[in-house]
Amino acid sequence: YVLLATATEKIKAGKNFDFDDGPSLRGIIIDLVEGLKIACYGILVSMVALMANLLPLIGQIVALLLYTYCFAIMFVDYPASRRRWSLSKKIGWVKRHHGLSFRLGLLPALLSEQWRQDASPEYYRQGYMETGGGPTVRIRLVGELAYLTIKSPLTTIARREYEYTIPIDDGTEMLDNLCGNIICKRRYHITYGGMIWSVDEFYEDNAGLIVAEIELESEEQTFPAPPWLGREVTRDARYGLKKETKQNTTHGKEMVGDMNTKQKWSIKDAAELYGVKRWGAGYFSIDPSGDAVVTPFGSDHGPRISLYQVAREIEERGFSMPVLLRIENILGSQIKLLHETFRKVIKETGYQGQYKGVYPIKVNQQEQVVEAITQFGREYTHGLEAGSKSELIAAISMLKNKEACLICNGYKDEEFIDIGLYAISMGFNLFFVVEVPGEVELIIERSKELGVTPNLGLRIKLSTQAEGKWSHSGGDSSVFGLGMSHIVEVIDKLKQEEMLGCLKLLHYHIGSQIPNIRDIRAGAMEACRIYEELINEGAPMGYLDLGGGLAVDYDGSQTDYHSSRNYSMEEYCWDVVESVISVLDRNAIPHPTLITESGRATVAYYSLLLFNVLEASSFLPPPVPEKLPETKTDLLENLMETYSMISAKNIQECLNDVLFYKSQARQFFKHRQINLRERALAENLVQHILIRLTQVAKKMKHAPRDMVHINKLIRDIYYGNFSLFQSLPDVWAIDQILPVMPLHRLDEQPTHPAVISDITCDCDGKIDTFPSSYEENKSIFLHDLKEDEEYYLGVFLVGAYQETLGDLHNLFGDTNVISIQVDREGGYKFIREVEGDSVADVLNIVEYDVRAMKNRLRKLAEDAIEKGGVGNVVAKKCAQQAKLFSDITLASRTLSKCDEIAGEIKKQYGITVATEEIDADRVDHLIHLMEKVRPELVINVALPYQDLSIMDACLATGTHYLDTANYEPPGSAHFEYSHQWAYQEKFHQRELMALLGCGFDPGVTNVFCAYAQKHLFDQIETIDILDCNGGDHGHPFATNFNPEINIREVTQTVRHWKDGEWISTPAILHDDARHFTFNYPEVGEKESYLLYHEEMESLVRHIPGLKQIRFWMTFSQPYITHLKVLDNVGMTRIDEVDFEGQKIVPLRFLKALLPDPGSLGTNYTGKTVIGCVIKGKKDGKPCGKYIYNICDHAEAYTEVQSQAVSYTTGVPAMIGAMLMVQNIWQGAGVFNMEQLDPDPFMEALNHNGLPWKIVDFPGKLF
C-alpha cells in the first residue's frame, strides 16, 4: 500500500503536499501519536464495516464506502510524507476534497494522467481584494509578470472582464498586503479538438483539486469533451469566485471539472455535434453502434438501415466511391406528409376546396426520380410541372393519374403549345400558364387550329418579396409574371375571343427556399385579392397555384436564415389555408383547389453523396517541449517567449512577432543557420502560438483584422474522393450549406476540426461551411484516419438541383448512382445501379476522339521538353554553379529525357542531378513534387500554357518562381502579362517572389533598357528591340524553338506602342508587313520584320515617359515563303478540324512533322545578335545607344550541346535564379526584369557566356 500510495502521490498530486514541516523530535512524536489514532480509527471502521457487511447488498456497499474513506485518510498520512497534521485536520482535508479522496483511496495506482502528457505548466500565485459584494478584483503573479483583473458579478455563466499589466513589484506588494485567500496553482494549456483548455492544479489548502476550464464564444456553443474531463461544476457555488481555487477568467462559457473521472462520449453527443436531429427531419439518426442510419418511413415508423453497411455493400458489389445514394421510400414519405398534412388542415379549418401537389421536373429531371414521384403520388393525384418541351414530353409519358395537374410554365412556342393541346385532348388536366401577354394570342390561334379548348392560367407578379437567396424571384422587379396592366390586357383579349371561360388558374412564385413563414402568408394573401378580382371579371377560376418556396431546413437552426426555415410542414399548411380563407371568405368567394410546386422539399432528403476520405493534412502540432535545445540563434527562445506572453492586450504585437519569426525561420534555414529539426520545432511553436492567438481573439470584442486569416489556418484538411463541381455544384455556386456527417464511428469522439477538400485541382473545390444551430461553422469535427480502414462521409439533402446542374469541371464525370428501396421488415434491395462516367465517356462528352488522343499523347510525351532545348541549358549552367545550386532536380513529363540530360551533366561536371516525372498541367502533381523535393526556387522552362499551374503550386508550397516567357492561353494566340500580373497580391501575401520573362527577349532586353535608364539616359523616348538569328541549321524549314509557340507568335497581328496607344499593323505574312534592312554586327545585313513581343507590354508600364517601342525579328525569304504556303493551306490553324473521323489541330500536326529544335544544334553555324537601340536625352541633349549581345551557335553547342537560341534563353534564367538565391534580387510579389537592379545581372552576363557591348547610335533606325 505504501508503494502504491507513494507512486500515486508523485504522479497525481505532484507538489500539492510539498508545504510540510521539517524533521524534528516533536514531529516524530506527532507521527507516532497520530499513527496510533489512525490505527484505532481503522479498527473502529473495520468493526462497523464487518457488522454492516452482514446485511444484504446495502450493507456491503456501506462497508466498501467506510473502507474507502479510511484508505483516503491513510493516503493523506502515508509514511513517506513529512506531513505533521492531526487526525482532525486530515479528516477535514478529506471532507473538502471528498471526490478526489474517494478515488485516491480506492484506486491509488490507476489514475489517468493522460492530460499531462501534452502540457507544460505556468506557475500562478493570486489573491482577491474585498469589494463588499461588488466586482471582483484579483491580483495574479505569473513568473515575472503581474496582472490586475476586474470582473463583473457572475450572472449565468457569462461575465465581463478587464485585465491590465502592472509592475511586478507593485503586484507582489498588493498581493501580500491587500489580498486575502492567497491561492497557489500550476496552470497547463492543453489543445484538444482545436480548442484550448486551461487546467489548474492547486496547492496548500486546496491541494489535490484539479480544475479544467474552456472559454467559448457563446453559451450555446458546443465543443468536444476530452476523455480526461470530469463532471461539470460551472454552476456549483463551491467552485465559484474566491470559494476555492477555480477562477472565472473571461466573459464566456467555461467548462470546469475534476480531471480524473473520464466523461464518456455518446451517440447523443454525436447527434448534437452534427445536428442530425435538427436537419434530419426524422429520416436520419445515429444507432447505438455508432453508424449513421436512415429511417425512410419517418422517425416513428419502420426500420432503420445503416448507411455505413449500405456503403460497404455497394463497394462489395463492385462500385467504387463516390456514390450518389437514392433512397426511394423517402420520396413517398415526403409526398404522403405533404398531402396528409394539407388534408388534416383542410378538414380542421373547414376549407371547401382540396389540395393537389405538383412536382417541378427542373428540380431533379432524372427519369427514376420523376417515375418514382408519379408512382408514389398516384393515390394523391400528385402532378408535374414542366418548363420546356423536353420536360413536357417527359411529364406526359410519366404521369400515372390523368386527374393530377400538369402545369406548363416557361416560354411556349408553337410546338410546345401543340404538344400541350394534344395532351388535353388525351384527357390530361393540363394548364398553360401565361407568362407574357403575347403567349395568349398564340395559344388561342393554335387551339382554334387544332380544335382543342385550352385550360389557361396566369402567372402574376406580386409586390411581396420573400427573404433568402432567391428574393429576386418575386417583387415588382421580377423577370417573370404579369403586372396589373398585363392582366387586364389578357382578360380583355380572352373576352374578345369569348374564351374567358378557359381562365381557371392563378399562379405566382415569390422565390425558392423561402425561410420566413411571414412571406409565405403575405404572398398568399396578396394573390387571393387578385384571384378575387379575376372572379369578379367573370373568369370561372377554381385553382390557386402558390408556386414553390416550401423550404428545407438544411442547417437545422429552425430560423429565417437562408439555409433554414422558421416553420414546420404543419405551420406551412395552416398559414396557406388560413390566408386563403381570411381573404376569400370576406366576399364569399368559393375556395379554390390549392396547388403548390414543392419540388425542393419533395426530393432533397432522398439523395445523399457517399465518399471515402483519401488522406488528411493535420494542423495540430506536437506538444510544446519542456526544454528547448541549444541553437546558434535565439529564434526558438523568441518564439517560446511570444507563446508565454500572449494576452488580449498584446495580441497584435504577438501576431506581428510570430509572423516575423516564421519568415525568419525560413531565412535561417535557407542560410544554414538552423537545421531541419530546429526549423520543424520552430514551425511547431508557430502553430501553437497561432492556436492560442485564435483563442484569445475569440474573446475580444474587436480582434485584429489579421486574425480573420489566421483563424482559417487552424483547421485540418480532409481530402474526399469526389468533385464538388460535379456532385455538389450549389456549394460552390451559391454557398449552399449542406449537412455533412461521418457514416460510422459516431460512438467515438471526433477531435479534428477540419474542412473537406475535393480531388479537383481547384481551390474552390472545398466544403468549408457547415450547419449549426446558431451560426455557420467554418469547420467540422472528424475522426483520426485508421491505416487499414476506410473513413466514409456522407453529404445529406442533395436531392434537389445537384444532379443535373453538376458540370465536368476538371473532366470529372458523373458518379456511380445506386438506388435502394427499404421494406417494412427492415430489409432493403438495390433496385437501380448506374455506373458513373469513365474517363473515355467524359472525353467523348467534350468532343474528344479517344483513339486519336492515345496517339497524340504518345507523341506529346516524346517531345515534351524539345530534346534538351532551354531546359538542357538551364540544367547545365546551374550545374556549373554547383556551390550555389547544391541540389538540382530536373522534372518533365518525359523522364527519359531528363535522365539523358542528367547523365550528360554527371559526365561533364561530375554533378548528380535528380530527375522526376511530372505533368505540369496538374497542380496537385506539382504540389506533391515540390513538397517532396522542397526547392527554394522553381525555374519554369515548360510551355507558356503551364505558367499558371506552376505558379499555383509555388503559392501552395511557399516556393519562389521564375519563368522565361509569359502565359499564353492554349486556345488563342494572345500574349500578355495580365494573367500573371493578377498573381501580385497572392505572391506578396505569401512573401514569395515571382520573376517573369527571365530569358533573353523577354529578359535580357528588359535589363538592357533598365541599365540604360539607370546609367545612360535621363529620359528614354524610344526603344527598338532587334532579334537577329544569322545562323544556318541546314534544313529547308525549321523553327529555333517550339514550332507551335514560334508559329503562333509570328502569324498574329502585329502591335507596337506609340504616343500612348497600341498601333496594329499586318502580320509578317501580309504583303503590307513592315520591314527594313539592318546591318547587324558580325552578321551583316538582314531583313527585319516588325512583330509584337511581350516585353513591350511591361516596358511600357515600367519605363516612364516612353513614346515608342517596337520589336523587330529577322526572317529569311525562304522562311517567309514556306510560312505563307503553310498558312494559305490552313496548316497554321490552332482550332480543331475533322480528318477521317478524327479531330486534329493542324499546327500541332505540323509540329510533329518539323525538325525538333533541340536537334538543330549539331550542325548549326552562324551567330545570333540580339539587342536594343535606345533613343532619348542625356544632360539635355539627344542621345542614342545600341546595347547588344552576340552568341555563336557552334560555341554554344560545344559547351552545353544546344544551339544559341536555347543558350541565350537558358543562361539568363540561370543568372536570374542565381541572383534570387543569393538574395541580391529579392522582394514579395510578381516582378518583371526591368523592375530590379540591372547592374548585378549585367555583370553576370559577362561571366557566363553572354558578353554585351554598348555603342553609340546617333542615326535614325527606320
Residue 861: C-alpha distances to residues 282, 853, 858, 917, 1041 (Å): 55, 12, 5, 11, 17
Residue 130 and residue 102 share a domain: no
Contacts with 1054 (C-beta within 8 Å, 6 or more apart), sequence order:
1064, 1065, 1066, 1067, 1068, 1073, 1074, 1090, 1091, 1092
Residue 245 and residue 135 share a domain: yes
Q: Which amino acid is at 1077?
A: T
Percent of the chain with pLDDT over 70: 78
* Cα–Cα nearest to 466, from 527, 410, 409: 527
Task: Answer whether residue 50 shows pLDDT above 80.
Answer: no
How far is 593 from 612, CA to CA, in rounded Å? 47
Residue of 470 and 718 predicted with greater confidence: 718
pLDDT at 467: 77
Which set of grid coordinates corresponds to residue 828?
432493403
Q: Residue 1057 — very low, low, confident or very high, per pLDDT cuts 50/70/90?
A: very high
Instruction: Determine which of 155-164, 781-790, 946-955, 1161-1170 has the lowest per-residue pLDDT on average.
Output: 155-164
129-150 pLDDT per residue, tens: 877 667 888 888 887 788 888 8
650 contacts 702 by C-beta, under 8 angstroms: no
Residue 1060 and residue 1185 share a domain: yes
Instruction: Determine which of 166-170, 724-728, 1051-1055 has the lowest per-residue pLDDT on average.
Output: 724-728
Which set of grid coordinates corresponds to residue 1197?
553547342
Roughly what angle, to the nearest 10 degrees, separates helices 651-670 and 676-699? 170
Instruction: Determine which of 591-595, 677-681, 983-987, 1035-1039 has the lowest per-residue pLDDT on average.
Output: 1035-1039
pLDDT at 109: 33
Residue of 162 and 1093 predicted with greater confidence: 1093
475-532 pLDDT per residue, tens: 666 767 888 899 999 999 999 999 999 999 999 988 888 888 888 888 899 999 999 9
Contacts with 1178 (C-beta within 8 Å, 6 or more apart), sequence order:
1016, 1017, 1018
At 540 the three-state DSSP class reads coil
Instruction: Tell me if 507 is assigned to some domain.
Output: yes
Instruction: Tell me if 894 is assigned to some domain.
Output: no
How far is 963 from 8, CA to CA, in rounded Å? 65
pLDDT at 163: 80
Residue 1149 and residue 1080 share a domain: yes
* Cα–Cα nearest to 950, from 901, 1003, 892, 991: 892
187-220 pLDDT per residue, tens: 887 777 667 788 888 776 666 678 888 877 666 6
Report the run of H or E that residue 201 belongs to, with start and end: strand 195-202
pLDDT at 72: 63
* Cα–Cα nearest to 359, from 373, 340, 379: 373
787-815 pLDDT per residue, tens: 888 999 999 988 888 766 655 554 455 77
Scanning the structure block, which residue is given the C-alpha cell 473495520? 46
Which set of grid coordinates corresponds to residue 1228?
514579395
Residue 149 and residue 58 share a domain: no
229-246 pLDDT per residue, tens: 766 777 555 565 443 333
Q: Which of 203-207, 247-251, 818-822, 1046-1050 has the highest mean pLDDT?
A: 818-822
Number of structural domains (the chain) is 6
Instruction: Tell me if 311 is assigned to some domain.
Output: yes
b (16+ CB within 10 A) / e for 1177-1203: ebeeeebbbbbbbbbbbbebbebbbbb
The pTM of the full predicted model, rounded to 2 decimals, is: 0.50
pLDDT at 471: 63
Residue 1092 and residue 1077 share a domain: yes
* CATH number for the domain harbouring residue 175: 2.40.320.10
pLDDT at 1007: 97
The one catalytic residue in 573, 761, 898, 998 is 761
Residue 703 and residue 724 share a domain: no
For 618, which DSSP code?
A: -
Q: Is 184 a catalytic residue?
A: no
How far is 189 from 645, CA to CA, in rounded Å? 13
Task: Answer whether residue 589 shows pLDDT above 70.
Answer: yes
Please tell me the number of Cα atoms within 13 Å of 952 on its side-chain side: 17
How far is 396 from 432, CA to CA, in rounded Å? 14
Q: Considering 687, 711, 735, which residue would you say is the last residue of a domain? A: 711
Q: Considering 846, 879, 905, which residue would you say is the last residue of a domain? A: 846
Instruction: Tell me if 778 is assigned to some domain.
Output: yes
Residue 1136 and residue 1046 share a domain: yes
End-to-end CA distance of the chain: 105
1108-1150 pLDDT per residue, tens: 999 999 888 877 787 777 777 777 777 788 877 778 777 777 7
* Cα–Cα nearest to 1110, from 1055, 1182, 1178: 1055
Residue 764 and residue 720 share a domain: yes
How far is 912 from 1170, CA to CA, in rounded Å? 33
Task: Answer whether residue 998 shows pLDDT above 70.
Answer: yes
Task: Answer whether residue 1039 shows pLDDT above 80.
Answer: no
Give mean pLDDT, residues 926-931: 92
Instruction: Provide the residue range defining the domain that includes 476.
Output: 353-602
pLDDT at 87: 61
Q: Which of 142-156, 741-755, 998-1012 has the highest mean pLDDT?
A: 998-1012
738 contacts 279 by C-beta, under 8 angstroms: no
Residue of 840 and 557 predicted with greater confidence: 557
Residue 1178: C-alpha distances to residues 268, 502, 1102, 1175, 1234 (Å): 82, 89, 19, 10, 20
Task: Answer whether residue 702 shows pLDDT above 70.
Answer: no
Cross-strand bridge partners of residue 1056: 1063
Q: What average pLDDT does the chain have?
A: 81
Instruction: Determine which of 687-696, 769-778, 888-897, 932-941 has the lowest per-residue pLDDT on average.
Output: 769-778
Strand 1181-1192 to 1054-1058 pairing? unpaired
Contacts by 1151-1156, CB closer than 8 A, 24 or more apart: 1151/863, 1151/1042, 1151/1043, 1151/1044, 1152/859, 1152/863, 1154/1037, 1154/1038, 1154/1039, 1154/1043, 1155/1033, 1155/1035, 1155/1038, 1156/863, 1156/866, 1156/867
Instruction: Tell me if 346 is assigned to some domain.
Output: no
Residue 308 and residue 206 share a domain: no
Residue 1090 and residue 1015 share a domain: yes
Residue 346: C-alpha distances to residues 241, 351, 571 (Å): 58, 5, 13
pLDDT at 858: 39
Instruction: Tell me if 214 is assigned to some domain.
Output: yes
Residue 706 and residue 828 share a domain: no
* CATH number for the domain harbouring residue 1128: 3.30.360.10
Task: Answer whether residue 111 shows pLDDT above 50.
Answer: no
Instruction: Tell me if 563 is assigned to some domain.
Output: yes
Task: Answer whether residue 646 shows pLDDT above 90.
Answer: no
Q: Considering 49, 75, 106, which residue would you say is the last residue of a domain? A: 106
Instruction: Tell me if 1070 is assigned to some domain.
Output: yes
